[in-house]
């Protein structure tokens, strides 16, 4: 109310100077307060502007007459008001209603412009915090296990390193964005995903398939864009505290402040786990012990000349370790007690500003320091990434044009062979990646849209790189959409920042030749259907995908059990399959989400004799699925959520004569939760994760000799495998991993918000 009175006062002063011209002003509100960055337009006069962080707007010098005022905003229904302008100012208070259908949400990741999800020629999946609250997790990495076709994969049983697979392709092929910026660099895909406060997340957009035409290197398998909340439209205070029966504690707190010139959003996340549990009795911690704090601060500057700007900063500090249960910090780097200890410090800056109604400037910077030991192997690395981009967009008739000039600079230095000269001297890597892209979205008709794009990058090490894409969308009506898309992706590789297997364990890393950039071609057919009926809404979504790789870099674990041999594939690789998603929402309070992915991921390589051989992709299940069933008991304000993930058999990195099976079993992780909501905004929730108590078998090889000591149990004084105790030449190896070793655990939490 105070803000609206302010609008009235503002209008009064303005009226003094523009009484003869006419004034239209007001405030735009939603269910939770002012609507930030709503678009207000008068089509007849071809005038439009963006409301500020408090929802205020004003048109001056409006000639007398009757007009239609159109108000639109992300996640809200469009509202049209008829107004009459006279010499007296028109004062409005407009309340928008939120959209009911998820399919009408606005997305930006597919085309780098705000567009309705149904109108986007690129298929984009959207997930809101309400979806992830069905199975609450302390970080984004764990949350994504609820998404069909997305596989958060643990790559090491000791330090719990992880990355995110899309349609069976390894983590380095997935680009992680924060507010559209490539802020999560290759080094931090290992640990950076765990430090994003969940309470800061507005939605997560996922594009499956190459997106290098708009986003450059790494966007080969797809991208995950984490959109943070707007400071001006967030809750004043929001807190979420939770704990588990195994001793995990998580705190998530955000606060929003509205000033005269800026709106500020502050988020803090703290996670702590210090229990040395050993369920499978191998003398190794089942889950890494962690102590992590993340601070996120975002400023939204009130528009000048209707031009918006925002700036965000994030800092993360994490200390984690895993290893033998008797490990202490004094053993760090030594060979008496095995441990993998990682200390991470990370800082990020994200800024965007509209410098003209058609021109936007983006800038980001991140600094990542990793100080770690994997047994006796020290890995000390620094990576800095600076990114800047200028975007221009314009609608000309049926053409919606977008062009950009991006520039990315990456500095990387570590103590590994990756940054060493032939003589052993240190030589940090400096990568410059300037480029240019152009995209045209052409409306052939009301039902058909064609999107074409082309990007050119120049890499100072690999030269010229071109990445085109082409998409078609056909919508015979509002409830049916068919999309066909194809494109090219590329990726420049740094093994030590991306593949944790190159560091952990005792295998020697061998790079067979100078590695070339990987390239891929992808085709995708997507069909979406909405069925509306008296009992609710049903959304159906299905895709057929095919990706063909050349120059793919593969890790050979098989040839020599003591080595990991990396080389470009002398052949090609394929990822193909079908993914299906269903979403049922009924008026009686029942909601069902279910999805399944069937895929075949493999490489065609040549053996020593020159013959082609087919090699299946590791950690790529042929079938997987996710589901969530929710029922809202309206009267007692209770919600029951049952969620689960089914993972089919997948090939694992076995060694020659391994006693463990080469494929994992079919298993299901089932979770249940009950949430109680009170009228004052308080929520209490609790339940059980991994209700079926699934545990992977034999994850560590030779856990009783992690240093492979010469003259010890398995090796003689010369380091040769003893025939009596180690006839197969096994070495310590933690890479045989396909599920968390934690078992069933209870959890409970409390949420509260002040709107």
| pLDDT value, residue 646 | 95
- The contacts found for 592-595 with CB under 8 angstroms, 24 or more apart, are 592/627, 592/628, 592/629, 592/630, 593/131, 593/626, 593/627, 593/628, 594/625, 594/626, 594/627, 594/628, 595/148, 595/149, 595/625, 595/626, 595/627
Residue 139 banded pLDDT, cuts 50, 70, 90: confident
pLDDT digits (tens, 9 = 90+) for 249-305: 999 999 988 887 888 999 899 999 999 999 989 999 999 999 999 999 999 887 777
The top-scoring range by mean pLDDT among 128-137, 157-166, 201-210, 275-284 is: 275-284
Structural domain ending residue among the three candidates 95, 118, 143: 95
Looking at the fold, whether 88 and 233 belong to one and the same domain comes out as no
| pLDDT value, residue 99 | 62
703 CA to centre of own chain: 33
DSSP at 35: P
What span, in angstroms and rounded, lies between the C-alpha atoms of 380 and 375? 14
Q: For residue 381, give the CATH number of its domain.
A: 2.40.170.20
Structure tokens at 85: 């302008």
Q: For residue 76, give the CATH number of its domain.
A: 2.60.40.10
Position 113 in a domain? no
pLDDT digits (tens, 9 = 90+) for 412-429: 888 877 677 767 788 888
Structure tokens at 313: 């900063």
Beta strands in 553-709 (DSSP E): 553-556, 563-568, 572-586, 590-606, 612-616, 623-633, 638-647, 667-677, 683-689
What span, in angstroms and rounded, lies between the C-alpha atoms of 333 and 684? 44
Position 313 in a domain? yes
- Residue 413's DSSP bridge partners are 382
Position 261 in a domain? yes
Mean pLDDT of 367-380: 90
Cβ atoms of 584 and 538 closer than 8 Å: yes
DSSP at 86: -
pLDDT at 8 over 50: no
What span, in angstroms and rounded, lies between the C-alpha atoms of 198 and 432? 33
- The contacts found for 471-478 with CB under 8 angstroms, 24 or more apart, are 471/121, 471/122, 472/121, 472/448, 473/119, 473/120, 473/121, 473/448, 473/449, 474/447, 474/448, 475/118, 475/119, 475/447, 475/448, 476/447, 478/118, 478/530
Which of 289, 297, 384, 387 minimizes the C-alpha distance to 345?
Answer: 384
What span, in angstroms and rounded, lies between the C-alpha atoms of 412 and 419? 8
Residue 475 banded pLDDT, cuts 50, 70, 90: very high
Q: How many domains does the chain have?
A: 2
What span, in angstroms and rounded, lies between the C-alpha atoms of 367 and 146? 30
pLDDT digits (tens, 9 = 90+) for 43-60: 888 888 877 767 788 888
Position 159 in a domain? no
Distances in Å between the alpha carbon of 265 and those of 75, 165, 232, 751? Answer: 20, 31, 8, 18
Distances in Å between the alpha carbon of 463 and those of 211, 428, 432, 698? Answer: 20, 19, 10, 46
SS3 assignment, position 716? coil
What does R_g of the chain's alpha carbons equal in angstroms?
A: 27
Structural domain ending residue among the three candidates 95, 110, 131: 95
User: Out of 139-148, 152-161, 169-178, 549-558, which region has the weakest mean confidence (pLDDT)?
Assistant: 549-558
Looking at the fold, whether 518 and 374 belong to one and the same domain comes out as yes
pLDDT at 246 over 60: yes
Please state the three-class secondary structure of 335-368 as a single string: CCCCEEEEEEEEEEEEEEEEEECCEEEEEEEEEE
pLDDT at 525 over 90: yes
Position 279 in a domain? yes
Position 673 in a domain? yes
Position 332 in a domain? yes
Exposed/middle/buried for 105, CB within 10 Å: 0-12, 13-18, 19+?
A: middle
DSSP at 5: H
- Residue 184's DSSP bridge partners are none
Structural domain ending residue among the three candidates 71, 95, 119: 95
Structural domain range at position 392: 227-337+345-699+734-754
Which residue carries 């891929």 as its tokens? Answer: 520
Which of 350, 264, 349 minimizes the C-alpha distance to 299?
Answer: 264
Position 115 in a domain? no
DSSP character string of 429-481? EEEEEEEEEEEEEEESSSSEEEEEEEEEEEETTTEEEEEEEEEEEEEEETTEE
Q: What is the mean pLDDT of the chain?
A: 83
pLDDT at 673 over 90: yes
| pLDDT value, residue 9 | 41
């Amino acid at each position: 109310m105070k803000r609206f009175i302010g609008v009235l006062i503002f209008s009064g002063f303005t009226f003094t100077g523009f009484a003869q011209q006419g004034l239209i002003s007001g405030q735009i509100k939603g269910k939770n307060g002012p609507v930030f960055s709503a678009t207000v337009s008068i089509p007849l006069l071809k005038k439009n502007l963006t409301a500020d962080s408090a929802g205020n707007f004003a048109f001056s010098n409006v000639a007398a007459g009757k007009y239609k005022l159109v108000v639109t905003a992300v996640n809200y229904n469009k509202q049209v008001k008829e107004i009459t302008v006279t010499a007296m100012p028109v004062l409005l208070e407009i309340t928008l209603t939120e959209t009911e259908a998820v399919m009408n949400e606005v997305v930006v990741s597919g085309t780098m412009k705000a567009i309705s999800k149904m109108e986007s020629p690129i298929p984009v999946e959207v997930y809101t915090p309400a979806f992830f609250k069905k199975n609450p997790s302390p970080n984004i990495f764990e949350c994504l296990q609820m998404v069909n076709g997305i596989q958060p994969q643990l790559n090491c049983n000791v330090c719990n390193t992880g990355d995110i697979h899309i349609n069976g392709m390894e983590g380095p092929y997935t680009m992680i964005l924060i507010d559209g910026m490539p802020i999560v660099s290759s080094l931090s895909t290992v640990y950076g995903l765990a430090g994003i406060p969940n309470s800061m997340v507005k939605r997560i957009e996922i594009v499956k398939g190459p997106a290098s035409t708009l986003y450059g290197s790494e966007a080969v398998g797809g991208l995950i864009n984490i959109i943070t909340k707007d400071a001006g439209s967030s809750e004043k205070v929001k807190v979420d505290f939770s704990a588990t029966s195994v001793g995990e504690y998580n705190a998530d707190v955000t606060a929003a402040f509205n000033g005269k010139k800026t709106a500020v959003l502050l988020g803090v996340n703290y996670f702590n786990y210090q229990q040395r549990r050993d369920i499978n009795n191998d003398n190794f911690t089942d889950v890494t012990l962690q102590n992590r704090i993340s601070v996120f601060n975002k400023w939204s500057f009130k528009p000048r000349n209707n031009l918006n700007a925002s700036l965000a900063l994030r800092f993360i500090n994490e200390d984690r370790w895993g290893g033998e249960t008797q490990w202490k910090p004094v053993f760090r780097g030594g060979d008496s007690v095995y441990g993998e200890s990682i200390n991470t410090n990370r800082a990020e800056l994200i800024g965007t500003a509209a410098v003209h109604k058609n021109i936007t400037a983006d800038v980001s910077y991140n600094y990542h320091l990793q100080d770690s030991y994997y047994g006796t192997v020290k890995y000390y690395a620094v990576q800095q990434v600076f990114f800047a981009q200028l975007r221009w967009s314009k609608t000309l008739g049926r053409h919606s044009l977008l062009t950009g000039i991006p520039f990315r600079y990456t500095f990387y230095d570590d103590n590994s062979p990756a940054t060493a000269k032939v003589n052993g001297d240190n030589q940090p890597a400096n990568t410059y990646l300037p480029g240019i892209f152009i995209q045209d979205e052409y409306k052939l008709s009301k039902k058909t849209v064609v999107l074409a794009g082309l990007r050119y990058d120049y890499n100072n090490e690999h030269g010229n790189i071109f990445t085109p894409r082409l998409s078609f969308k056909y919508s015979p009506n509002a409830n049916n959409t068919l999309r066909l898309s194809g494109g090219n992706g590329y990726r420049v590789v740094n093994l030590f920042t991306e593949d944790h297997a190159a560091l952990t364990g005792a295998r020697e890393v061998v790079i067979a030749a100078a590695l070339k950039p990987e390239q891929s071609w992808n085709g995708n057919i997507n069909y979406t259907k909405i069925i509306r009926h008296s009992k609710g809404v049903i959304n159906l979504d299905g895709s057929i995908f095919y990706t063909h790789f050349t120059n793919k870099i593969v890790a050979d674990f098989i040839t020599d059990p003591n080595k990991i041999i990396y080389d470009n594939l002398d052949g090609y690789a394929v990822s193909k399959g079908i993914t299906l998603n269903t979403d049922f929402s009924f008026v009686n309070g029942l909601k069902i989400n279910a999805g399944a992915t069937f895929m075949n991921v493999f490489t065609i390589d040549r053996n020593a004799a020159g013959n082609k051989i087919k090699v299946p992709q590791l950690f790529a299940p042929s079938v997987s699925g996710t589901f969530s069933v929710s029922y809202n008991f309206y009267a007692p304000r209770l919600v029951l959520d049952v969620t689960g993930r089914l993972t089919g058999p997948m090939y694992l990195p076995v060694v020659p004569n391994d006693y463990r099976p080469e494929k994992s079993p079919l298993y299901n992780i089932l979770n249940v939760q009950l949430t109680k909501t009170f009228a004052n905004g308080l929520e209490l929730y609790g339940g059980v994760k991994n209700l079926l108590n699934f545990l992977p078998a034999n994850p560590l090889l030779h856990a009783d000799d992690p240093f492979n000591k010469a003259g010890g149990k398995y090796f003689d004084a010369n380091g040769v495998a003893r025939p009596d105790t180690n006839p197969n030449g096994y070495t310590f190896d933690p890479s045989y991993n396909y599920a968390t070793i934690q078992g069933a655990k209870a959890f409970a939490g409390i949420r509260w918000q002040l709107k």
